[in-house]
Amino acid sequence: MFKQPNITFYHVTDWQRAKKFYGETLGLPVAAFITDEVGWMEFGEKNGARLAINLWRGPEPVPPKEGGAMVVFEVEDAFKAVEELRRRGVRCDDVEVVPGMVAFATFYDPEGNQLQVAGPPPPAK
């Protein structure tokens, strides 16, 4: 019945700020862009899973930012990824480590939507 996950999207209210954050701050490639009037833009590889933003036009309130799906980006080093995101002005939580399993951290787009980076844990000492 299903093939594979295709798109995960977040609602945004400040369209221009969101486009700049995902495209410029995070440096994600644009996979699809309809129009500013439609308010739909996809980032990632055209034939792979994509992250999209959708301009929220109401009715209020905007759907909750917490408790839903979360996009997780695979990285080689979660600590370095957080350091670079912070250098770019992105709000990030500290890296958490599950020994022998994963190192991950939550970061936030300008509207408070949660995303994560996840990579291998540091070597055991």
* 49-58 pLDDT per residue, tens: 899 999 998 8
Closest of 39, 45, 103 to residue 76, by C-alpha: 103
Same domain for 5 and 59, yes or no, is yes
| Cβ–Cβ < 8 Å for 119, 81 | yes
| Structural domain ending residue among the three candidates 14, 30, 63 | 63
Return the pLDDT at 55: 94
Residues 41 and 73 in one domain: no
Q: What are phi and psi of 17, to 5 degrees?
A: -65, -40
Positive/negative CA dihedral, 9, 40, 18, 21: positive
CATH number at residue 119: 3.10.180.10
Tell how far CA 70 is from the center of its chain.
7
The count of structural domains within the chain is 2
Q: What is the model's pTM?
A: 0.83
DSSP-derived 3-state class of residue 96: strand
In the chain, the amino acid numbered 34 is: I
Residue-range definition of the domain harbouring residue 17: 1-63
- Domain identity same for 55 and 80: no
Task: Give residue-wise pLDDT tens across range 38-89.
Answer: 999 999 988 888 999 999 988 877 777 666 678 999 999 999 999 999 999 9
Query: Same domain for 47 and 77?
Result: no
